[in-house]
Amino acid sequence: AIKLPYLKQEMAQTAEPASCELLMHKGDGNPIWVSLQAIAVAGDEGTTVVRMVFGDSTARKRLEERLIRSEFDTKAILDGAADAIFINDRQGRFQYVNQQAVQLLGFSRDELLGMCFTDITPAEDFQLTRRMLAQLMTTGTLRYEPSLVRRDGSTVAAELSGARLSDGNGFAACRDITARKQAEALLLANNKFRDAILDSVSSQIAVLDNTGCIVAVNQRWREFVLDNSATPVSYTHLRAHETVLD
């Protein structure tokens, strides 16, 4: 017998139809999910009759279980990703962030959920971020290098790759490129220092790579070529065997 005292109590209190789902077993012992809808109606001599309708909801329940497992597996994969992952709704608010996003920005997961990219964008980059998000929604893809604001107010240089998902939400993967930016700045400073040293020398100097291509010249070399060349010269494409004089 099926004992559903809570269902009867609910109908008695509300006089509204009630429903529930039950896990039952068929005669062969196999489980089956049953959806039950019940309604109380007036019977003879003031009695109350409960009418019930049963339906097989096994296929739907199994689909729901697969979707739940799939969502769990997807979140496990995203949480194990090396990049910070953000999924935002059409209004730009984060619906999901992974553990790397928490570590990158210093906010808790609960703090980040409900925030959006403009909340973690420096004030001077606010309009750029809005344009980039609009581009993502329009073109479906995005790649740029924003600065992101951490919880302590510091900023981190990031590389962001984004995509518009089939449901209209946005997906973004970010990685910290601070070390790369620092290396690029150091290389630029070293190149400027090298050029300053070369320009201080009174002789004409050209620096060649291992293929014989000129990769750097000093000011005296540039002046020498301009004074003696019959045609305009692109210095970075000169080779040692090329004749640049008349």
Q: 205-214, pLDDT tens digit by residue?
A: 888 888 888 8
The pTM assigned to this predicted structure is 0.54
- The pLDDT value given to residue 3: 46
pLDDT at 81 over 80: no
**DSSP state, 202?**
S
Residue 35 β-bridge partners: 21, 55
Distance of CA 33 to the CA centre of its chain: 38
pLDDT level of residue 107 (50, 70, 90 thresholds):
very high
pLDDT at 239 over 50: no
pLDDT level of residue 91 (50, 70, 90 thresholds):
confident
**What's the mean pLDDT in 4-27?**
67
CA 128/CA 112 separation, integer angstroms? 21
* Contact between 159 and 132 (Cβ < 8 Å): no
Average pLDDT, whole number, for the chain? 79
More confident residue, 195 or 154: 154
**DSSP state, 27?**
T
pLDDT at 11 over 50: yes
User: How many other C-beta atoms lie within 10 A of the C-beta of residue 93?
Assistant: 15
pLDDT at 27 over 50: yes
Segment among 133-137, 217-221, 237-241 with least mean pLDDT: 237-241
CA 227/CA 204 separation, integer angstroms? 13
* Contact between 205 and 225 (Cβ < 8 Å): no
pLDDT at 26 over 50: yes
* Contact between 202 and 221 (Cβ < 8 Å): no
Q: Which of 175, 150, 166, 172 is nearest to 93 (CA)?
A: 172
pLDDT at 101 over 90: yes
Residue 55 β-bridge partners: 35
pLDDT at 236 over 60: no
Segment among 14-23, 102-111, 180-189, 201-210 with least mean pLDDT: 14-23
pLDDT at 171 over 60: yes
CA 163/CA 173 separation, integer angstroms? 9
